[in-house]
Chain A
């Protein structure tokens, strides 16, 4: 009986070949990536003049996208580390989804920051002449650290699964895949000693990744908060960024859970219960983010210092009002309203709420970067008229969309190659459950 169940689990969870929908999906993503690549080649050739960024708005959607990617990558630490350490067993099937989102997002965060550089050919100067005093160098250090810790957190739990996949060579198809499994995991013999070391390593990494995750997004917030500009000059920024990051990451996980459950028929593994629990987590995080938003906007709005006034009024009622209220409502208010009811935490409504959170959060990042730059201390003077506005060009949109598509592509391909739900851990948990 028990072995049958085990066999069933393995069959259900082994990676499957792309169906028709999967192939179309990969095709669309590849097309976006190609478009982004072409746009980037144009940018390399002609310079950043192909963007709409100019001397006042010197950071645009590349930087918002960077902040967005860093934010979304924080979910890896939330689900794998925080929930693991707090013994929330229900999160087991979600760990790998969260971790691959983290790895792909942090990869594209690094790529997009190079895209934003005026002289990417001089990237090596960061190592040749790096100044430890600069928050950019802190960011380089912590993001690299986070990337490697996340990769390891993805890799260690994969080892027993790779052993299982090597036993089922016929199912996985493609011989090069088997070669890769052998290369990556043939040393894993599933002995008690190995399991012990692996568990210990995962525990250490889970603890390590929490401060590193806090560091990556706090340092990212400091890229703004260490300047004097109204809208950035805020002591609230670190916490504001971290809470927003956990929110968008959790939203992304809910979306990914729904998509994987539908396309891989995982209803027995990603259950309604998971959406219910993640829905509650989302409400909590949205309320938390809302709290920091209230602090970020209402306190300066109460005083209305002259330097802040233009910026705040631009957001509340001025040229950014539509985007601002759209972002606040889609990232926080509407998802809270949906997910606060039990019915709203069913898979489909939760999926919708997750999508809203992700979209709203992207625009929130846009609002963090651009409006501030359009309200400098000294009024915009002696520049061509186009310098006083910012709307991204097609090249910027293509590169931004291309990077988002690239991140989704990594996740998609990963799910094609590896089981997106940990097989061994699921089996172990069921066995433990039955014994109890």
Chain B
């Protein structure tokens, strides 16, 4: 980490967030001692702002000293491999609400800086049989409880955590692509070339939980955004969807939410006849689908109608 970042964090933790002192201590300096250099460069504006400190005291701070809190440090590789204790993450995808806006996809691509053209979330135009209704089926990684990809990985670069999430350690992956052959849901993508990421993203240390930055010669896929879960927030696809198609939650708490509505997971899946993809393969996915009944939108396959017009 760069020195001025550290000093800024020390400064803020000294004035505002005593809780962050733990990270400050690791540098060996007293985090409560204001950095002389910082004080000199910041000129008090004279405008005071009232804040509530972590111990419930109201304190006053000059506005000039207010800086955005830097994001929490990434969890260690070891912790990222263990997962969040006491959780079992699940997703429910309501097919009756999807009209293939692909907001989920663009949010996911943006947040994970995925190679242009590749997608971790795919939206399939599906039709079970000739006379049945077509519908849109978004897919994420299924985060299987019997993950075929994890079984075949020769170096433990892709792994299953105690909270049910399957992640990839891009610093370990050797790029053999056996996991891609093994995954029946075609969920994995490979970084065939250098991604030309902006420097501030490319220079970040890789974290299994953010899956950023993606690295040349390694495999990537949907990660259920465990970094967001750690912050108590929803995965990017869930919050990006305007129709509330995706519901994310914890099976042990038995609740899933799309941000505006919250459901009891077991009731939702039971009442709406939820199912999982390719149940017969025995992969036991963590993603449940609600069948496309009473649909909110008609099925319009734009690419198909355009093709028909041409011909």
Q: What residues make up the interface of A, taking CB atoms closer than 8 Å to B?
A: 46-49, 51, 53-56, 58-59, 116-120, 122-123, 125-126, 128-131, 133-137, 140, 223-224, 226-229, 232, 373, 376-384, 387
Q: Which listed residue, B139, B153, B182, B191, touches A378 by the CB 8 Å rule?
A: B139
Closest 10 CB pairs of A and B: A118-B175, A118-B217, A49-B193, A136-B154, A49-B192, A134-B154, A382-B122, A119-B175, A119-B217, A129-B155
B174 at the A interface (CB under 8 A) = yes
Please give, as numbers and ranges, the residues of chain A lying within 8 Å of B172 by CB-CB distance: 122, 125, 129
B151 at the A interface (CB under 8 A) = yes
A387 to B155 alpha-carbon distance, docked (Å): 27
A120 to B174 alpha-carbon distance, docked (Å): 7
Distance in angstroms from A247 CB to nearest chain B CB is 25
Identify 13 new A-B residue pairs, CB closer than 8 A, beyond the known A117-B217, A122-B172.
Answer: A46-B194, A47-B191, A47-B194, A49-B193, A54-B192, A58-B190, A119-B217, A120-B174, A125-B157, A129-B156, A131-B154, A227-B182, A383-B117
Instruction: Report the interface size class on chain B.
Output: 35 or more
B218 at the A interface (CB under 8 A) = yes
Q: Tell me if A's interface is mostly helix, strand, loop or mixed.
A: loop
Q: Tell me if B's interface is mostly helix, strand, loop or mixed.
A: loop
Distance in angstroms from B120 CB to nearest chain A CB is 10
Beyond A47-B217, A118-B175, A228-B184, whether A381 also contacts B122 by CB under 8 A is yes
Distance in angstroms from A17 CB to nearest chain B CB is 43
A120 to B278 alpha-carbon distance, docked (Å): 34
Please give, as numbers and ranges, the residues of chain A lying within 8 Å of B218 by CB-CB distance: 118-119
User: Could you jot down 23 A-B contacts, CB within 8 Å?
Assistant: A47-B217, A48-B192, A53-B192, A55-B118, A55-B186, A58-B180, A117-B174, A117-B175, A118-B175, A129-B155, A129-B172, A131-B154, A134-B178, A224-B181, A228-B148, A228-B184, A377-B186, A378-B122, A378-B124, A379-B124, A381-B125, A382-B123, A383-B117
A330 to B174 alpha-carbon distance, docked (Å): 37
A227 nearest in chain B by CB position: B182
Please give, as numbers and ranges, the residues of chain A lying within 8 Å of B103 by CB-CB distance: none
B105 at the A interface (CB under 8 A) = yes
Please give, as numbers and ranges, the residues of chain B lying within 8 Å of A379 by CB-CB distance: 124
Chain B, residues 161-193, CB within 8 Å of chain A (1/0): the string is: 000000000001111111011101110111111
- Decide if A381 touches B123 in the complex (CB within 8 Å): yes
B281 at the A interface (CB under 8 A) = yes
Please give, as numbers and ranges, the residues of chain B lying within 8 Å of A377 by CB-CB distance: 184-186, 278
Chain B, residues 130-153, CB within 8 Å of chain A (1/0): the string is: 000000000100000000100111
Q: Which listed residue, B174, B185, B192, touches A126 by the CB 8 Å rule?
A: B174
